[in-house]
């Protein structure tokens, strides 16, 4: 069996969390977003490491993820569900002690009817138009909701990675208008918003991608290395082709290594003919098309064909690879396939 090795540095994740925590005021609680299996890196293991670093509150997208994180962490941690209380979620929310962030009048009604007295927060829309109560819905039900003491009032910024965008300030002002003076804990910012400065921090911040080494947190420590095994190599003669659809044609004798990972492992087909792999410090170009389970790489210039080549590592992080594929580091991380052997190091 030959699968890629995905090395995940838990100490770097914890250091990134501490760095996010340090830039906020002492009164701001730094939570951790571990949705989408902690951005592909393993929600249970990552959440336990972050709990060891001091995180007490975790955000997931859906109740099923919350149940998984609860099983990994045990009691004593707050697990907030960004998607709120959807039809069919009641059992999970109750049994695993999850706190849904309610997003609509319908969700508020469902929560109050199905789980009266059970903790909840409220998500307000301040201009992203994606999730959360609109201002007029909030005005209509705020009194009833506030009587039931939500644990958190939150909203989400649409352009926090672009500090100059006017919408950031407009969302901040709207959030103030909707929540000032209510005496309930508030949260507005993910990684990008934390970097916009203290006026965006409120009581709880929600960093995700910055913990995992991604932009917009420029100072993040890299977290992942992905090494792919060479399972065969051959000399390709001038005029011969490599891979599907004649994707590469050799113009000189070319030593081609075949590596065991492809688009089924999250290496997008958009990387065809464009990506670079690394043999230590030496770049090696990907040749031709990305197949489902395989890629082909030019190793002609190496003294020896190595056993593995890196596609993520010190020379190419998740955002650099995302740039080659025409996407962002977030999508590279969350697309990491399930065939890799995940090796954790750093914190316990
Ligand atoms: C995903 C998400 C986050 C985390 O965002 P990052 O940009 O990864 O830090 C925070 N809050 C909400 C509502 C989200 O959907």
Atom of ligand 1 nearest to the CA of 156: 13
DSSP 152: -
Q: Two tokens at 114?
A: 């199905």
Residue ending a domain, among 212, 236, 270, is: 212
Is the separation of the CB atoms in 221 and 15 below 8 Å? yes
Ligand 1 contacts CB of residue 208 (under 6 A):
yes
Q: Are residues 205 and 255 in the same domain?
A: no
4 assigned to some structural domain: no
Atom of ligand 1 nearest to the CA of 101: 13
Distance 79 CA to ligand 1 centre (A): 14
Q: Are residues 72 and 200 in the same domain?
A: yes
Residue ending a domain, among 212, 240, 255, is: 212
Q: Are residues 122 and 15 in the same domain?
A: yes
217 assigned to some structural domain: no
Whole-model pTM above 0.85? yes
> What pLDDT does residue 25 have?
85
Token pair 């932009």 is at which residue? 215
| DSSP-derived 3-state class of residue 46 | helix
Task: Give the CATH number of the domain where residue 178 resides.
Answer: 3.20.20.10
Ligand 1 contacts CB of residue 209 (under 6 A):
yes
Distance 33 CA to ligand 1 centre (A): 7
Whole-number Å distance between alpha carbons of 61 and 234? 46
> What pLDDT does residue 311 have?
98
154 assigned to some structural domain: yes
Q: Are residues 102 and 241 in the same domain?
A: no
Whole-number Å distance between alpha carbons of 49 and 253? 49
Q: Is 344 a catalytic residue?
A: no
> What pLDDT does residue 2 have?
84
Token pair 């307000």 is at which residue? 124
Nearest to 279 by CA among 313, 312, 308: 308
Ligand 1 contacts CB of residue 206 (under 6 A):
yes
> What pLDDT does residue 98 have?
98
Is the separation of the CB atoms in 160 and 192 below 8 Å? yes
Q: Are residues 253 and 206 in the same domain?
A: no
Residue ending a domain, among 212, 239, 267, is: 212
Q: Are residues 174 and 284 in the same domain?
A: no
E-assigned strand segments in the chain: 5-9, 29-30, 32-33, 57-60, 78-81, 99-102, 121-123, 153-154, 186-187, 204-205, 224-236, 241-242, 248-249, 254-259, 276-279, 282-287, 295-298, 308-312, 341-345
How many domains are there within the chain? 2
Q: Is 274 a catalytic residue?
A: no
Q: Are residues 26 and 114 in the same domain?
A: yes
Q: Are residues 25 and 163 in the same domain?
A: yes
Distance 279 CA to ligand 1 centre (A): 34
Nearest to 332 by CA among 241, 187, 214: 214
218 assigned to some structural domain: no
101 is in an annotated binding site: no
Token pair 């290496």 is at which residue? 267
Atom of ligand 1 nearest to the CA of 123: 13
1 assigned to some structural domain: no
> What pLDDT does residue 348 have?
54
Is the separation of the CB atoms in 309 and 228 below 8 Å? yes
The mean pLDDT values, 10 residues at a time, for the chain of 348 residues are 92 98 93 98 98 98 98 98 98 98 98 98 98 97 98 98 96 98 98 97 98 96 98 98 95 98 97 97 98 98 98 97 97 96 87
| DSSP-derived 3-state class of residue 166 | helix
- Bridge partners of residue 248, in order along the sequence: 242
Whole-number Å distance between alpha carbons of 96 and 94? 6
Task: Give the CATH number of the domain where residue 331 resides.
Answer: 2.40.37.10
* Structural domain containing residue 180: 10-212
Ligand 1 contacts CB of residue 262 (under 6 A):
no
């Amino acid at each position: 069996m030959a699968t890629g090795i995905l090395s995940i540095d838990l100490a770097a994740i914890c250091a990134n969390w501490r760095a996010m925590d340090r830039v906020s005021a002492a009164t701001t609680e730094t939570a951790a977003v571990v949705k989408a299996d902690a951005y592909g890196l393993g929600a249970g293991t990552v959440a336990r490491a972050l709990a060891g670093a001091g995180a007490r509150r975790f955000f997931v997208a859906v109740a099923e993820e919350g149940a998984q994180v609860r099983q990994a962490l045990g009691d004593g941690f707050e697990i907030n569900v960004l998607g709120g209380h959807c039809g069919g979620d009641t059992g999970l929310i109750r049994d695993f002690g999850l706190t849904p962030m309610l997003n609509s009048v319908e969700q508020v009604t469902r929560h109050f009817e199905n789980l009266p007295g059970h903790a909840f927060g409220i998500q307000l829309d301040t201009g992203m138009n994606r999730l959360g109560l609109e201002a007029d819905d909030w005005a209509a039900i705020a009194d009833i909701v506030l009587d039931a003491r939500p644990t958190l009032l939150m909203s989400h910024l649409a352009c926090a990675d672009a500090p100059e965008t006017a919408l950031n300030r407009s969302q901040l002002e709207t959030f103030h208008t909707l929540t000032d003076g209510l005496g309930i804990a508030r949260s507005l910012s993910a990684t990008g918003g934390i970097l916009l400065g203290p006026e965006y921090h409120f009581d709880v911040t929600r960093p995700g991608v910055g913990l995992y080494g991604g932009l917009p947190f420029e100072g993040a420590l890299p977290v992942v290395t992905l090494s792919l095994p060479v399972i065969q190599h051959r000399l390709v003669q001038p005029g011969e082709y490599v891979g599907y659809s004649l994707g590469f044609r050799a113009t000189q004798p070319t030593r081609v290594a075949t590596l065991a990972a492809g688009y089924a492992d999250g290496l997008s087909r958009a990387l065809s003919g464009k990506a670079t792999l690394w043999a230590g410090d030496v770049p090696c170009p990907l040749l031709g098309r990305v197949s489902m389970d395989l890629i082909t790489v030019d190793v002609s210039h190496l003294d020896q064909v190595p056993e593995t080549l890196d596609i993520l590592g010190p020379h190419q992080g998740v955002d650099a690879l995302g740039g080659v594929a025409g996407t962002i580091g977030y999508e590279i991380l969350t697309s990491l396939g399930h065939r890799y052997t995940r090796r954790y190091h750093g914190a316990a």
